[in-house]
Structure 1
């Protein structure tokens, strides 16, 4: 094996090794989830060298410099967000918002049957993606590439568009009811769609053909997520169950049984070892991917858990509830670390910033809030919307926020 080059991954922190083996170029990652600005880089290099033969003595200083760059990125101060611009984006309420990886563009979907592509810095509409005959509900860029957009609609179709020109490449037809969730795989070769027809489907990005129909749920498929290597897909359903699917074969690997209410969201952690699920039964559950066993039930909320997510390192879990609170749990000890209190209505969306130091929540009280992960204190109230906020997102750098509201507008915060 011969080491060719290094690549840095800022969020979550890691170093990608590109190397040659038997004439083929391959890569593997050194995950540094526990890295902090206080970590001793020399000691960390020594630990890495013990387990990674590609890091020879001659490469040690190069690895140290990469670690110092990661620490410098971590040491950047979190800032207070300022309201920059309100976009009267649509003539009917928004459904979702989504950034591309660079954060230079974002999407808005709407009940007005369109998806729009926006320039973040100027607030200029770049493209209006028209062609659906009903609500555009689920939207996504094919990050990290950002050259394609997928839109899922209540008209039972998903469309694939050029993010550069706005041209529609394919219309994926086959579902018999509304499409309510979708995702690109990490390689951007497949789109997964989930529907009220109780199925999920996999579609080929290049040809537009259906690759697999994932059949087995007896209720609407409301949430789905690929793992970070694209080998598995998890789906959550109103039938109270969660399914794990092998992407290559389309076969179901596990059925995760245990929730007593509709599933609201599902997500893999970064290293693909755990799945977190939120449910209308007021609980969040943590599942081991290999065995399909439930390893923890997080039962702190008094009302429905409406959203749930991991931080990028997979060490923390955040939950949002109809009881008006959000909570942060340890993914290893399963203990509730902090409770985020202050919203005057249900919290429908929650997400970590890429650094894992802040949490963003969106609520029916017409505000979004920014929270400190360690202390649980509210750092900032993002107000100005005149109706409930049901979508919010950080960009990849964590220095820009988009909020989308039922008031037909989205707001940009830097």
Structure 2
């Protein structure tokens, strides 16, 4: 059965639900006038749930003793019922969140599994990237390997599914990104032009573009239909650590080892702002779901939130970690920020005040990754202690 998804990027506890319901009805033919009151009522209930979630304290629910060697990456499926983990032990594992049970182990890579991804919202396929110079496409139900994606001549370190087309993208230390067809596993295009390792990539929401971030200090914008480079974002003086579109793909953000982040106009490939405020490398960035705020994580042991909707000013600074902050992400409602640190903790912060709400403790080594589930009611933290922790 086909499903229609309506993404409420600007929905919050302050949203007028009657106006929003009317707006949805105007844009969606399936929402008829007689159901607008019920829609508004449902939105009001969702607001109550969000408000309660913002005050929720998380508790350790399960510890997934995942791998024989340290983890490299972790990802939720859309429903928050399963997660996948990659590891230096050359495997990827699929887990049932509710029971803390391993569902299947994906075996076949000959070296470190460095990056993992679901094909949300369907979540019936998994993509893995490995230091063995390949990526692999797997069934998320049976663990069967559908295709091995060949072509790179060095480690593959980043992968993503195209949200609208039957393509996947890969980035490699061989200075290239590549596009492959999901059904056949055949290479569609090699994206050449970077003069350094490609360590980050993301598709636009319509699937027609992909951005790649490189150690050559630049970000490239590519048209996936023609495999041509249509923009080069230059201005950073050191390696790129991450690059992202905002939700409507009008902006691109980048973070760099040069201690700055930048915000770019996607249409003109011009820099709108250079965000300065950290005194060490900026390791990660994240947009909130409205695309109006950007968070940065730094080796200086802080995270910051910036206004990218108007004047790019500093909105909040999160101080309290004792070592570098390696990962940052907003809660779906945007009221909380989650950070992961080498000080063996993850922390939850109030995005308005910058105050620490809760410290998630218990890992015995660096916490290098963290994520909210799509609904925001579950958190996962991944550590070099070979475990993941589920918090509810």
TM-score normalised over the length of structure 2:
0.94
Quote the offset at 1:45 in angstroms.
Answer: 6.0
Q: 1:63 to 1:231 in 2, by over 3 A?
A: farther
1:214 corresponds to = 191
Q: 1:60 to 1:406 in 2, by over 3 A?
A: same
Q: Which of 279, 282, 286 is the equivalent residue of 1:302?
A: 279
Alignment partner of 2:159: what SS?
strand
Deviations 1:239-272 (A, max 9, x none): 0000011011110010000111100011101111
1:200 corresponds to = 177
1:232 corresponds to = 209
Quote the offset at 1:305 in angstroms.
Answer: 0.4
1:20 corresponds to = none
Q: Which of 3, 6, 11 is the equivalent residue of 1:9?
A: 6
Quote the offset at 1:331 in angstroms.
Answer: 1.4
- Runs of 4 or more off by more than 2 Å in structure 1? 5-12, 35-49, 52-56, 58-72
Q: 1:63 to 1:412 in 2, by over 3 A?
A: same
Alignment partner of 2:370: what SS?
strand
Q: Which of 290, 298, 302 is the equivalent residue of 1:313?
A: 290
Deviations 1:351-405 (A, max 9, x none): 1111111111000000001111111111111111111011111111111111111
1:369 corresponds to = 347
Quote the offset at 1:313 in angstroms.
Answer: 1.4
1:129 corresponds to = 106
What is the alpha-carbon root mean square deviation over aligned residues?
2.0
2:145 corresponds to = 168
The CA distance in 1 between the partners of 2:173 and 2:239, in whole Å, is 13
Deviations 1:80-139 (A, max 9, x none): 111012121111000000011011110010000000000000111101000001000010
1:403–1:412 contact (8 Å) kept in structure 2:
yes
Deviations 1:288-334 (A, max 9, x none): 11111111111111100000010111111110000000001111121
1:8–1:66 contact (8 Å) kept in structure 2:
no
Quote the offset at 1:53 in angstroms.
Answer: 7.9
1:11–1:355 contact (8 Å) kept in structure 2:
no
The CA distance in 2 between the partners of 1:165 and 1:48, in whole Å, is 38
The correspondence of residues 385-400 of structure 1 with structure 2, limited to 5 A, is 385-400=363-378
Q: Which of 229, 233, 239 is the equivalent residue of 1:262?
A: 239
Q: 1:410 to 1:260 in 2, by over 3 A?
A: same
Alignment partner of 2:364: what SS?
coil
Q: Which runs of 5+ in 1 are unaligned?
A: 13-32
Quote the offset at 1:75 in angstroms.
Answer: 2.6
1:147 corresponds to = 124
Q: Which of 63, 74, 77 is the equivalent residue of 1:100?
A: 77
2:165–2:207 contact (8 Å) kept in structure 1:
no
* Count of residues paired in the alignment: 386
Q: Which of 215, 225, 248 is the equivalent residue of 1:248?
A: 225
Alignment partner of 1:323: what SS?
coil
The CA distance in 1 between the partners of 2:236 and 2:337, in whole Å, is 26
The correspondence of residues 273-352 of structure 1 with structure 2, limited to 5 A, is 273-332=250-309, 333-352=311-330
The CA distance in 2 between the partners of 1:411 and 1:136, in whole Å, is 20
The CA distance in 1 between the partners of 2:179 and 2:243, in whole Å, is 17
The CA distance in 1 between the partners of 2:243 and 2:57, in whole Å, is 30
Q: 1:259 to 1:7 in 2, by over 3 A?
A: same
Quote the offset at 1:66 in angstroms.
Answer: 2.5
Quote the offset at 1:70 in angstroms.
Answer: 2.9
Q: Which of 384, 388, 392 is the equivalent residue of 1:410?
A: 388
Quote the offset at 1:62 in angstroms.
Answer: 3.0
Deviations 1:32-86 (A, max 9, x none): x2x443444445567778xx58779x94453454344234323311211110121
2:164 corresponds to = 187
Q: Which runs of 5+ in 2 are unaligned?
A: none
Alignment partner of 1:75: what SS?
helix
